[in-house]
Chain A
Amino acid sequence: AQSVSQHNHHVILSEAASLELGCNYSYGGTVNLFWYVQYPGQHLQLLLKYFSGDPLVKGIKGFEAEFIKSKFSFNLRKPSVQWSDTAEYFCAVVESGYSTLTFGKGTMLLVSP
């Protein structure tokens, strides 16, 4: 069965610090990869996705993620975080052609002003 690991459950950063959230998955075949974000009091929304092509994908609000197939990783990055980035971030994986996404346990990011 697929599994998704997010290594950090809680991350605390100061504004303008750089961010990298780790995500590793277990499936060895072709996958589609996603990062979702949930701001306080809001619903889950898509941050970015990877289906194929350039392994470096750019999402909303200055976020990007790099798919490294050899490492089964899809880490999320942002060069300079803002207080408004405080949220919970979820990595998700689905095998190509399958219906169900598998989510990581989430990483709560707190950015202090």
Chain B
Amino acid sequence: QVQLVQSGAEVKKPGASVKVSCKASGYTFTSYGISWVRQAPGQGLEWMGWISAYNGNTNYAQKLQGRVTMTTDTSTSTAYMELRSLRSDDTAVYYCARMVPTLDYYYYYMDVWGKGTTVTVSS
């Protein structure tokens, strides 16, 4: 079955970087994309960006431009999200989700989600 397995919880100091992984199984990795969504404590869902596992194209949320990088390793079917210059308000659960293309490959929706990775930023 389709699964996304994320890396474990992280505790970082302000100004540091974090890199979260999302290992896919049960499907052809390069036929889909991966989105990253985060959720601060007690808050709603915030889309961070997505990457095409087919060609590596990315699209990031404007507020994170310059601090976030999303990559994939097709040899291991793994997606990565790196966030730099961490601040206390980056404390959140970070989710990866598979992006499914519509028939025209112009629109993408999320279907399967990882279980989440808790990132805590604290001095």
Do A and B truly interact? Answer: no
Q: List chain A positions with a Cβ less than 8 A from chain B.
A: none
Q: List chain B positions with a Cβ less than 8 A from chain A.
A: none
